[in-house]
A and B are shown apart, each in its own frame.
Chain A
């Protein structure tokens, strides 16, 4: 088992170094002089330009710059944002909880609906229910989620007036950022003015959660169904039935336990998709998270922010994939016991 873990971790390290190299190259491919980019339209004297280059360490040989960069990254130094002049890491950590909160609920939403739908569709394969679930999930999978968000806003916010249009909290409340998770911060706040802010935050979460969760929901439902179909045809399911077990026990214990292994893998692999989806969802709902920040950083030509963001997100995705890989080993006794 230890060896299994070490091999997997060992495989991830070169990829991570590759990511660092990629982001390092990325920012150097930007057309134009970095100093020019930084100062923008304003003119600058040659003397000042060289001074700035030196200040930014850009007058040194490329490999020295790279090792400096790697050293910085490993210490959590992702550079300084051109616009806010704050460390990129600080910016990221301030905004990340908003994205994490949204992503967490989206996956929860997707799994809690997608799993049962997939299981029932598999058990009743060929039925009208099965066809409906499969049709809807393919539609969900094909959904341009930025449009889906607008459509839900149109229906639930504009026409029905049930849900807020944007942001994480109504303007009536001022909640201090403690953890960054709005649901927790609203509960921590003891200001009487903030009474009801928890429900307000929850209210704001509904539409973005649905929008971000739609594609994972579709993927999970389809994957669960096909995994269940495969497992339900296995000999050991017939054995379980021959033992006189009830059909619920056969499906929920004997089949699901085995189908869950590929499904959990798929849920884990949705993290990358989820980060891509967060970019669009956060833009549609003006959700102050990483996705919106990245789009805005590109718009403001804040390359250090973009570079840092890409790096941290890639590292995150890799970590989650690694965790899924290890979890897969835990769930699958055939791997767990391999020596």
Chain B
């Protein structure tokens, strides 16, 4: 029997570059753009915190300790403090602005550490297989079987409280995600012809890993990095809230909520505002991450 399929169409329009295509797809996604705008604003706030914030984050206004200064929409507010002051008389607005520095800093450091370590383990696992593979992947399984917040808490309990240790602890809990992604990518890329080609051309293992295979499995890693930026902020804030992350008077948003529970009746804004800042930041990164995933994953494209 015979098919009557006619000659296939030649592509008419000029192909656009992949990165431009991703950008166009991202631009069409309203949520992702909203997230991106918020992130840009956050970066601006973080970079120019000293200029934008009216006061230093640790500056205490004694008059506001004696009698609380509520935010602008409440009765008896002080025009100098639009978001009011906290329990020890510090301007909340200034503290929130400075807090953006910590959140972005935490996100970047955690993602960098976990990404680097994860890619390293993943590449080693994928390239060498055998015992190394089994050992690394078992170790990753072990890390994954402990809830990440609990593991981070346990690590902080050993290393001691503080922002740096909290970041290391959180970063460790994310390594398996990257390692698995990188390993899976290596395993799908390795049998492909272009890898064989560069092997035949005499490329060494290291070169093969970093120059040939890695660039071809970046897409899922980028998406995961964006998404774990947000979870890193959440987890570090949770550690701060529990008292094991950044220590007072650091204006880290989670830490600012640590003693908020006792103030919930008298100064509710001290509870609501830092949390809102966390929520908005995390949401922005998740929106961008979702948008990136849709833009980078051709399977989901319409």
Contact = CB atoms under 8 A, between A and B. Distances in A.
Interface of A: 14-15, 18-19, 22, 26, 29-31, 135, 138-139, 141-144, 146-148, 150-151, 153-154, 158, 272-273, 275-277, 279-280, 283-284, 294-295, 298-299, 301, 303, 306, 309-310, 313-314, 317-318, 321
Interface stretch (B21-29, B41-49, B151-159, B216-224): B151-159
B15 to A, nearest CB: 27
Given A151-B275, A154-B264, A138 B283 contact: yes
B272 A154 contact: yes
Contacts of B268: 154, 158
Contacts of B290: 138
B257 interface: yes
Majority-rule SS of A interface residues: helix
A144 B149 contact: no
A158 B262 CA distance: 12
A313 B146 contact: yes
Contact of B150 (A141, A146, A284, A294): A294
Interface in B52-79: none
Contacts of A143: 279, 282
Ordered nearest first, which 8 A-B pairs have the shortest CB separation? A147-B275, A276-B149, A276-B147, A142-B282, A18-B142, A142-B283, A275-B147, A298-B157
Contacts of A31: 158, 160
Interface of B: 31, 138-139, 141-142, 144-151, 153-154, 156-158, 160, 230, 234, 237-238, 241-244, 254, 257, 260-261, 264-265, 268, 271-272, 274-275, 278-279, 282-283, 286-287, 290
Given A15-B141, A280-B241, A318-B145, A151 B271 contact: yes
Given A142-B230, A144-B238, A310 B151 contact: yes
Nearest to B275: A147
A158 to B, nearest CB: 6
B150 A279 contact: yes
A147 to B, nearest CB: 3
A30 B275 CA distance: 32
Contacts of A275: 147, 150
Given A14-B138, A15-B138, A150 B257 contact: yes
Nearest to A286: B261
A208 to B, nearest CB: 14
A276 B153 CA distance: 10
Contacts of B138: 14-15, 18
A275 B148 CA distance: 9
B271 A154 contact: yes
A31 B157 CA distance: 10
22 contacts: A19-B142, A19-B146, A22-B146, A26-B154, A31-B160, A141-B286, A144-B254, A144-B275, A144-B282, A146-B257, A147-B271, A147-B274, A147-B279, A150-B264, A150-B271, A154-B272, A158-B265, A272-B145, A280-B149, A283-B241, A299-B243, A310-B150
